[in-house]
Amino acid sequence: MSSLYVVATPIGNLEDISLRALRILKEVDFVLCEDTRVSKKILDYYDIKNNLISFHHHSGDKKYEKILGILKKGQSIALVSDAGTPNISDPGGQLVELVRERLPDVNIEPIPGPSALTSALSVSGIKADKFFFLGFLPHKKGRISAIKEMLDLKYPVVLYESKYRISKLLQELLNLNFSKKIMIFREISKKHHSFYSDSVEELYKKFEQDKNNLKGEFTVIIY
């Protein structure tokens, strides 16, 4: 029976990958990659040779049919994203849904591992038995409304933000008279991992005064 493995890969440090994930990446017939160049770095690090197929949110119907065709032949596939656990603010959910619908006999199996979401919460020091995860906020349309709704939530909120909008987010919170607490994690597990916790006003100044603080990917906790 063919299998579709949803494989978590490191969010930074390449050593943060399970032995099982490495075995699966070696054994499957194909690896679906959000960006083959990014995934190849991980595979090369562990001297894994395999057939890579580009698969991302811009992939069209032909790519989906190609993937279904591979599974129909009894071959197995590993789905990975650029970093972390696929389908958590990453492409892939539509593929899993399609395989469940069209090929119900295919084994779909998660290979657990790194996630910026759980990594940030684990070292936040806050009670995280209940929280809201919002992924990435809208870039433009509906953004302020989404932020206002977020601020009304009574549980901690975790969201992702890019280097292009982290200062914008802080400015938007200032404009809304933000009164909650905030933590910002940058480049979790990477060489230049940084943690920030201060008033929104001070954080905004810090990010604006030193543009080095704007490099990388950000996980934000509001509580």
Task: For residue range 3-48, list pLDDT tens digits in order.
Answer: 999 999 999 999 999 999 999 999 999 999 999 999 999 999 999 9
Q: pLDDT band for position 174 (50/70/90)?
A: very high
Of 141, 127, 139, 146, which is closest to residue 221 (Cα–Cα)? 127
Q: Please report which confidence band the pLDDT of residue 86 belongs to, taking 50, 70 and 90 as the band edges.
A: very high
State the chain's mean pLDDT as an integer. Answer: 95
Q: How far apart are CA 161 and CA 169, in angstroms?
A: 8
Identity of the residue numbered 75 = Q
Contact assessment for residue 182 and residue 222, using Cβ atoms and an 8 Å cutoff: yes
pLDDT at 50: 98
pTM reported for the whole predicted model = 0.90
Which residue carries 């991302």 as its tokens? 56
Q: Cα(76)–Cα(74) distance, rounded to whole angstroms?
A: 7
Counting other chains too, the contacts that 136-143 makes at CB distance below 8 Å and 24 or more residues apart are 136/89, 136/160, 136/161, 136/162, 137/161, 137/165, 137/169, 139/165, 143/172
Residue 90 pLDDT exceeds 80? no
Predicted pLDDT of residue 156: 97
Spell out the residues 6+ positions from residue 99 whose beta carbon is closer than 8 angstroms to its own.
4, 68, 71, 106, 108
pLDDT one-digit tens code per residue, 91-121 = 788 999 999 999 999 999 999 999 999 999 9
Q: Topology of 3-111 in CATH?
A: Cobalt-precorrin-4 Transmethylase; domain 1 (3.40.1010)
- Give residue limits of the domains in the chain: 3-111, 116-222
- pLDDT at residue 60, rounded to an integer: 92
Examine domains 3-111 and 116-222 and report if their fold is the same.
no
CATH 3.40.50.2300 fits 116-222, yes or no: no
